[in-house]
Amino acid sequence: MKIDLTDTTASQINKALVRGRRAIGTPAVGMVLTMVIVTDEENAYDSIKAAEEASREHPSRTLVVIRRVARTPRDRTNSRLDAEVRVGSDAGTGETVVLRTYGDVSDHADSVVLPLLLPDAPVVVWWPVDAPEVPVKDPLGALAQRRITDMYAVETPLAALDARAASYAPGDTDLAWTRLTPWRSMLAAALDQARTKVISATVESEAQNPSAELLARWLEARLRVKTERVVTAGPVVTAVRLGTENGEIVIDRPEGPLATLSLPGQPSRTLALKVRSTSQLIAEELRRLDADEMYAVALRGEAPKENPLDV
């Protein structure tokens, strides 16, 4: 069910949500969080689709903030809020409200979003593109327990990575880091099996890949070894090599969904290591809303803790 509202207010949007739930007989009590997506018109469709797919695992109210730029100087002085309210099958397992802001409303989107947040529920803000330099100081970011950015969406991802390191606050995370979860899990499991000291490390990837740089920094911080960066044709991270006193530990994924794991003195084995969809990445981030300490370690290259390779 869809309800279109033109030149509306947060109060009218809330009333439309109530009408929609009554019409389809769906209560709001089953939703566990509010997801706020701040995007542009170009990326709105894909972002909404990913959030709706993730909502099947985490039922949520999704608020999509799209800042519209008026074409004429006269129109830019007019403040307006348009909304599209989706409930039922049109919104995954939760509710979706697409908010299009014009004029001064765009500069105060937090005042529109605040009355629409689910009471006593966590708030997650996701910027698929054009994330603020300091997410925690953004008016919408300040409302959230979790702030999700994506360094793949910027022209200079490694420069963005350094900026994220300087501005990091508990609750920040990035999908470039989330993409590494299978790699980190496999590396930790491989070292548990090898039971040997790592003396060197190499990360192979396409050029300017933020996930590869995060992985290299994480290895340096956790293993206290210098990690070499090697550029390959990709796609994304293609291999990790850990030199040990007994031989080399290698996870190699040149292409496709399968990787080869090689351990000293053991036969090679094939493992599933596919590139995951955006909806899967978002669903993973919604499973835990506390501070991601390992992300901070990877960003800043902090000194390791007792466990040499926590994931």
Portion of the chain with pLDDT greater than 70, in percent: 92
DSSP secondary structure string for all residues of 28-74: STT--EEEEEEE-HHHHHHHHHHHHHHTTTS-EEEEEEEE---SSHH
- Model pLDDT for residues 255-275, shown as the tens digit of each residue: 888 999 999 989 999 999 988
With bands split at pLDDT 50, 70 and 90, how would you rate the model's confidence at 82?
Answer: very high
6: left (phi over 0), alpha (psi -120 to 50) or beta: beta
pLDDT in tens, 203-247: 999 999 999 999 999 999 999 999 999 999 878 899 999 999 889
Percent above pLDDT 90 for the chain: 70
Q: Count CB-CB contacts under 10 A for residue 138.
A: 19
Summarize pLDDT for 90-124 with one digit per residue, the tens. Answer: 666 779 999 999 988 988 999 999 999 999 999 99
- The pLDDT assigned to 235 comes to 85
Q: What is the mean pLDDT of residues 75-100?
A: 83
Encoded amino acid at 88, one letter = G
Helix (H) or strand (E) holding 196: none
Q: How confident is the model at residue 254 (pLDDT cuts 50, 70, 90)?
A: confident
Cβ atoms of 259 and 270 within 8 Å: the answer is yes
Look at residue 308 and tell me whether its pLDDT is greater than 70: no
pLDDT score for 311? 56
Average pLDDT over residues 281-298: 93
Give the pair of three-digit tokens for residue 55: 């909502």
Q: CA quadruple 54, 56, 62, 65: dihedral positive or negative?
A: positive
Give the position of tokens 């099996």.
Answer: 193
- Rounded to two decimals, the pTM is 0.91
Residue range 15-37: mean pLDDT, rounded:
83
Model pLDDT for residues 52-70, shown as the tens digit of each residue: 999 889 889 999 999 987 6
How does pLDDT run across 146-172, given as a tens digit for each residue? 999 999 999 999 999 999 999 999 999
